[in-house]
Amino acid sequence: MSTHKKKILTGTVKRHPDGFGFFIPDDKEHPDVYIPRNSMEGVMTNDKVTVEVYPEKNSDRFRGEIIRVVQRGTKTFVGRFYRLNDKLGILRDEGKGWGQDLKIKIEDSMNAKDKELVAAEVISYPEDGKSFTGKVTSVIGNALDPLTDIKRVILSSGIPQDFSAETLEEAKRFKEVPDERDYKGRKDLRDIDLITIDGATAKDFDDAVYVEMNQEGFLLYVAIADVSHYVQVGSAIDRDAYERGTSVYFPNFVVPMLPEVLSNGLCSLNPHVPRLCMVAEMQFDFTGEMTRSDFYEAVMESKARVTYGEAQEVIDGNGAEKFNHVKDNILRLADLAKILMAKRFKEGSLDLEIPETELVIDGAGVPIDIQRSERLFAHRLIEEMMLAANVAVAKFLNGKKVPALFRIHEPPNEMAIRTLEKYMATFGGKTKLGQGKLQKRLTKALEEFENRPEAQILNILTLRSMSQAKYSPNNVGHFGLGFEDYSHFTSPIRRYPDLIIHRLLKTQVVKSNQYRLMSEDDLATAGTILSAAEQRSTKAERQVQSIKKARFMEKFLGQEFDGMISSVAKFGIFVLLREYDIDGLVRLDDLGHDRFEFDEENLCLVAKRSGMSYNIGDSIRIQVSAADPELGQINFVKAGMEIRDEMEDEFDDESGEQKSPAARSAEKYLNRLRKKEKETSEWSGEERRRNDRRQGDRRNNDSDKKSFSVREDRKGHKEHKERRDKDRGAKPSVKEDRNPNQKSRFFGDKRQDSKGQEEKQQKAMQFRPADRENDSKKGPDESLLRMILGPTEYRKAKGEDSDDKPKLSKKLLFAEQSKLRDNDDYSEMNSDSLKDRKPNRKDSKKRGSTSNDSRGVRKARVSQGRGKGKTR
């Protein structure tokens, strides 16, 4: 990479909430480029920019400096209007996608009230010395609730949202700062330069770190908020926290495990205020081996609140002056992290780099960008410190023979590893996974694909092959991390298992009768309950991600994007977009004219006639065909396939349960009628049949009156004869169908309700613009459009409100949604909606059906975590 010189590129920039950015070049062959914080001043997400790009030293990554903004990506902003005074108000940058708040003069506010939702137009962007200003163009009021999607998921998931009255009463007794009496018996660490490193949107800081060097090596202090001091066993707060099990993190919203007075107050290690903490003090030699550890209660004071982006700037040598007093600490932490990482990977810890999804949401709850949250070294730095503390505590408790709640991860089963090995071999991998220590073999196998398109896909496939980590008193070790002893100690504000570990640790290191050991039965029960709570919250977070992604893609219906095939299945391919961290399904019927079959041996789709194939990692251009925010579903078609759908596949799915090519054609037709303002009329099925008999062959010769079916124009008299024969009850000849090996999608259909279905078929086949002069002002057949589109899509096409659509109970609604997402292993092959899929090509009604048919749209894959690191 060092041979590459600086170059000037144009493309789109994504602003990370921490302030740095990632640049996606228009040149598809060039990798994404990291943009440091100091170059993102005044630049917003989705802006078109010109960047000077150069390779990083001793790395395959690229770094860039923004030269100029070519075009702004957002011109209208939505959010809550906050009145600051009689002259000025602001729209807050809640999603951290703008870089700063939008200032609005009161005279430009359209008299919006405080905290009302508004839409604002930009007057000036933050460039050339100008400030970021705008004016309100419409007052939305409270018609839109930003939390509607989130509230729906919270309720359907059964996540407790409101604290009990007793808990709220207990919370009132806490003060803003610790009482001096609480310092008794604690070590005073207020003179040590402990700092917090966290995400820009984080509000609860449960860990602070500091490292110093001595003759033995590195002495590391990891200070964790002392939640157990405030949350007493059996108290109302404790009962509510146990029921929740974990905090649940949604975009711009949190369902906390603890009341805010604790989670954002007394138990949050905010800068420059005294806080009670539990400390893991660890001595490492220069090879990263822990030689001793000590645990005790302390009082501390954070010297700085640093974001990941700011920490990375310090590591890169471009840190702000305000961090000069903690700069050396950050650099020493970076040195220790590198040593610990090298040791961990050498011993077999898996390094699965799977970027998390970052949602940028405006004040109205509308997503303005969906991006891959690339992990910086600063993320890894803090992760290594937390891993070290978690291992040290687990080793200590295990050494003392204390029954405890461990974080365990069992090895994958043999079948899963064989399947993974098969995937790797298909992509050209040579490493065998059945020889030697499995973790090391996996790491070596994944290294073969470094910097190749398949790398990200194989990381995900490897993760899918693993069993799920959980909490248990039976310490079987952590396979993924390669640790024999591992517990969760570092996040007691947001995870109840960590609170249990704190209490158990205090039974050994604090001279007090306040804390008690737990029986193995109680620990086993807690492990089961808290593992289930964790899965519940993870599922809810993924569900909201899916809904927001679908809501985001609604505005791109019909637009084309470049993407990469991320997965191949019997029923189609999943495509991951290049520009946004979004994937969707392209069904077999939307891939091309050929008939594709799944090659299980080579894990690809192959066309029988042409030999064309679709493989994982292939680039493909797609068109967005459907997005359903209620279910969180997104569908694509291969770019250019819409024309084929209209001409040849109008009646692919007569059931009306899912939008089909027929529905798409009907929608297009309805739009064309509106645009051209054609005068049409509404005829019943019986009237149409009588008219057909009356007009006879005149229909074929009337070239100015085109049928709804384009096929009729192409086939001429044969198609007309087939329809006429159908009207008269004759069976059409299979030979007249366009494909001699495939029965007609209508006439080959055997169904019980023959009379009703026959009427529907005839209506659909004969629907066309009316040619009666007296009825020229009437529109298309409303009942037929309703039948083809379905009630919901029909109302959308008509621009009507959907208040009258049938309502499902919350339980039924969630049950339907759960079919798509009950998939803890990140695998579409394991999901209820996609397993047991057996395409039936002879019966059009059963084509592509499943036992739990949700039309094959997979939930979006999202990594766990909230930017704090997967292992924390």
pLDDT in tens, 737-753: 444 444 333 333 333 44
Contacts of 104 (CB under 8 A, 6+ apart): 81, 88, 89, 90, 91, 120, 133, 134, 135, 136
pLDDT at 709 over 60: no
Q: Which residue has the higher pLDDT, 462 or 215?
A: 215
Contacts of 483 (CB under 8 A, 6+ apart): 349, 391, 394, 477
Residues 386 and 380 sit within 8 Å (Cβ to Cβ): no
Q: What is the pLDDT of residue 857?
A: 39
Beta bridge pairs of residue 25 = 11
Residues 872 and 247 sit within 8 Å (Cβ to Cβ): no
pLDDT at 92 over 70: yes
pLDDT, mean of residues 635-649: 62
pLDDT at 439 over 70: yes
pLDDT, mean of residues 385-407: 96
Q: Rounded distance, CA 686 to CA 680, Å?
A: 18
Q: Rounded distance, CA 64 to CA 367, Å?
A: 26
pTM above 0.95, yes or no: no
How confident is the prediction for the chain on average, in pLDDT? Answer: 76
What is the distance in angstroms between the CA of the first residue and the CA of the last residue of the chain?
34
Q: What is the pLDDT of residue 138?
A: 82
Q: Say which range, 73-82, 484-493, 821-830, has the weakest mean pLDDT.
A: 821-830
Q: What is the pLDDT of residue 798?
A: 59
Q: Say which range, 304-318, 451-465, 500-514, 709-723, has the weakest mean pLDDT.
A: 709-723
Q: How many residues does the chain have?
A: 872
Q: Rounded distance, CA 638 to CA 193, Å?
A: 56
The most confident of 236-245, 357-366, 428-437, by mean pLDDT: 236-245
Residues 553 and 860 sit within 8 Å (Cβ to Cβ): no
Q: Which residue has the higher pLDDT, 498 or 75?
A: 498
In this structure, the dihedral spanned by the alpha carbons of residues 736, 738, 740 and 744, taken in order and rounded to 10 degrees, is -80
pLDDT tens digits along 325-335: 999 999 999 99
Q: Rounded distance, CA 868 to CA 872, Å?
A: 7
pLDDT, mean of residues 391-398: 97
pLDDT tens digits along 823-849: 333 333 333 333 344 444 444 444 444
Q: What is the pLDDT of residue 465?
A: 83
Q: Rounded distance, CA 386 to CA 871, Å?
A: 8
Q: Rounded distance, CA 659 to CA 672, Å?
A: 19
How does DSSP classify residue 467?
P
Q: What is the pLDDT of residue 425?
A: 79
